[in-house]
Structure 1
Amino acid sequence: MNVQQFRTEILQAAGAISSEVEELLTYNENHFKLEQLQESACLDVFLNDVSAFAPQIEAWKDYVSDSERVGVYSALKSRLVQLQSPIQAGISTTQQYQSVTRKGAVLDPKIARSSLHLKAENHLKLWIHPTLAGAIPVIVAGCREDFIALYQALAKRNEPVLVPASMGSCIISGYNNWDRVNRYKHQWQAQHPGQTTETEWLVEFQQLIPRKTHYQDQFILLSSGDYSGVSAANLGLPEAEWTAYSLQIRLEHECTHYCTRRFFNSIRNNALDELIADYMGIVAALGYYRSDWFLRFVGLEAFPVYRLGGRLENYRGTPQISDGAFRVLQILVKQAAENLERFDQQILTQDRTRSEKLAILIALAGLTLEELACSQGDKLIQTAVDHTLRSMSTR
Structure 2
Amino acid sequence: METTLSSLALKEESDGLSKELELYFQNKFSSQKAQPNSLLIDEPYISSWESYATDAIGGNAFSILKMCYPQLNFPIEEGINKTEDYINTVLKGKNTTVKRENTLNLIDPEGIEINIFESVAGKVPVIKVPNNQDFKQIIQSLLYKNNPISVPDSMGAVLINGINNWHRLHSLKQDWLANNPLENWNEEFAKNVLPNSELFKDRIIILSTKSYSNVSANSLAISESQWKLYSYSIRLEHECTHLLTLKKYGCASNNLHDELIADYVGITKTIGYYNMDWMLAFMGLENYPIYRKGARLENYLGSSDLSFENFEKLTRIIKNAIANIAGFDEELGKIDSASDQIARIDALCKVSVLEIASENGKYLLLSKYKEARMYCYD
Please give the range of the TM-score, normalised by the shorter of the 2 chains.
Answer: over 0.9
Residue range with higher mean Cα deviation, 323-332 or 3-12: 3-12
Cα distance in structure 2, aligned partners of 1:58 and 1:108: 23
2:21 equivalent to 1:27: no
- 1:293 maps to 2:278: yes
Q: How does 1:1-395 map to 2 (within 5 A)?
A: 1=4, 3=6, 6-12=9-15, 17=16, 20-37=17-34, 40=35, 42-46=36-40, 50-51=41-42, 54-69=43-58, 71-107=60-96, 109=98, 112-195=100-183, 200-207=184-191, 208-349=193-334, 352-392=336-376
**1:288–1:344: 8 Å Cα contact kept in structure 2?**
yes
Q: In structure 2, what is the Cα distance between the partners aligned to 1:358 and 1:23?
A: 31
Distance 1:354 1:334, change over 3 A: same
Q: Distance in 2 between matches of 1:108 and 1:388?
A: 49
For residue 44 of structure 1, what is the amino acid of its counterpart?
A: S
Deviations 1:259-296 (A, max 9, x none): 11111111111111111111011011101101110110
1:117 CA drift (Å) = 2.5
With the length of structure 1 as denominator, give the TM-score of the two structures. Answer: 0.90
Alignment root-mean-square deviation, CA: 1.9
Structure 1 residues without counterparts, runs of 5 or longer: none
Gaps of 5+ in 2: none
Number of aligned positions between the proteins: 374
Deviation at 1:205, TM superposition (A): 2.0
- Cα distance between partner residues in 2 of 1:283 and 1:90: 42
Q: Tell me by how many angstroms 1:6 deviates.
A: 3.7
Percent of pairs identical after alignment? Answer: 34
Shift of 1:251: 0.8
What is the deviation of 1:135?
1.2
Deviation at 1:240, TM superposition (A): 0.4
**When the two structures are superposed, what TM-score results if normalisation uses the length of structure 2?**
0.94
Q: Would the aligned equivalents of 1:137 and 1:219 in 2 still touch at CA under 8 Å?
A: yes
User: Are the counterparts in 2 of residues 23 and 325 from structure 1 also a CA contact under 8 Å?
Assistant: no
Closer, same or farther: CA 113–224 of 1 in aligned 2, 3 Å:
same
Query: Which amino acid in 2 is paired with 1:26?
Result: L
Amino acid at match of 1:8: K
Contact 1:343/1:378 (CA < 8 Å) preserved in 2? Answer: yes
SS of the equivalent of 1:331 reads helix
Q: Quote the offset at 1:320 in angstroms.
A: 4.1
The alpha carbon displacement at 1:324 in A equals 2.0
1:267 match: secondary structure: coil
